[in-house]
Amino acid sequence: MESVIRDVVIIGAGPAGIQAAIHAVRKKADVLMLGRIERSSLYSAHVENYACVKGVQTGQDLLEAGLAQATAFGAEVMDDDVLKIRQLDQCFQLDLESGESVCAHSLVFATGTARKKLKVPGEKKFFGRGVSYCVDCDANFYRNAVVAVVGNASAAIDGALTLTGYASTVYLVSQELNASREMIAKLTSSTVQLLSGTWPKEIDGENGVQSLLLTNGETIATDGVFIELGSKGAMELALEIGVQLDLDTMTHIQVDRMCKTNVDGVYAAGDITGHPYQMAKAVGEGCVAGMEAANFARQQRKENQ
């Protein structure tokens, strides 16, 4: 089957992907965005720290509004997964789950990151109702509350320390701390209550999280559980075409200030490029990546004429 050639293909339909689509199509590029807004980590979140948006907004509402904008401007959206990417002489070929194949002059990776899960009862049930994977995103919702952070590494310690500025009581549940001496020293001198040598067994509650059952048999009352096990980016597709990872984390794509990777014509935006995992960063990078990808595609068209 002959591939359809597009100017810009965006992989991911979260805030970064949607903003990239809007800016690319506004520069008269032929844009295809692949993904489902339901897969974005923003979809089940609540946002109150985004400039020019009043009050608390649901992630679902924001994403649906953004998707409507992108399609109204002319971007095409497909609910399809990419199975493989090949770099050809004049384009990038994407094989899709549906069996279709599409070629692009430029690519934007905006797939976000896949949060590592505890895989315990109650985790999925209470996601967005007391279970969170982002301290920076949700700490403000737990002022004067009791919270538990789960994790063994520096991300969990940093999250617990951050929460001491909001919550009345902060527990850190850890099997065995694996962090620098400096981080452990900060933890020791803080008000965080360390529960070591144990791990969550079940998250319980009614309309929201109320308790956390541990493997040592202890149950702690808590209003929220923050799961900070680190994050793994969807790197496989990018690695197929030689995209370089951030050498410090090896879990994010390395980009410059123009959101360009080491591969000509390939850009990345949002959570996949690293911290902070915030909508404002994702939208800003999406804007840059979308415009740069459209510019690159325009240049490629001229050279191929």
What is the distance between the alpha carbons of residues 219 and 222, in angstroms, rounded to a whole number? 9
Q: How many CB atoms lie within 10 A of CB 130?
A: 25
Q: Which residues of 22-51 are buried (b: 16+ CB within 10 A; e: fewer)?
A: bbbbbbebbbbbbbbbeebbbbebbbeeee
Q: In the numeric block, which tokens belong to residue 28? A: 């008269």
DSSP-assigned beta bridge partners for residue 217:
none
Higher pLDDT, 237 or 268: 268
Q: Do the domains 117-227 and 4-114+231-304 match in fold? A: yes
Query: pLDDT band at residue 3, thresholds of 50, 70 and 90?
Result: low
Record the tokens describing residue 219, joined without a space.
Answer: 């149950």
What b/e sequence results for 93-117 when a residue is b if at least 16 CB atoms lie within 10 Å of its CB, and e otherwise? bbeeeeeebbbbbbbbbbbbbebee
CATH number for the segment(s) 4-114+231-304: 3.50.50.60
pTM equals 0.73
DSSP letter at 140 equals G
How is the chain split into domains, by residue range?
4-114+231-304, 117-227
Position 249 confidence tier, pLDDT thresholds 50, 70, 90: low
Structural Rg of the chain based on CA atoms = 21
102-106, 133-137, 189-193, 258-262, range with the lowest pLDDT:
133-137
Of 53-57, 228-232, 252-256, the one with minimum mean pLDDT is 228-232
Contacts of 239 (CB under 8 A, 6+ apart): 245
**What is the CATH code of the structural domain delimited by 117-227?**
3.50.50.60
CA neighbours closer than 13 Å in the CB half-sphere of residue 3:
19
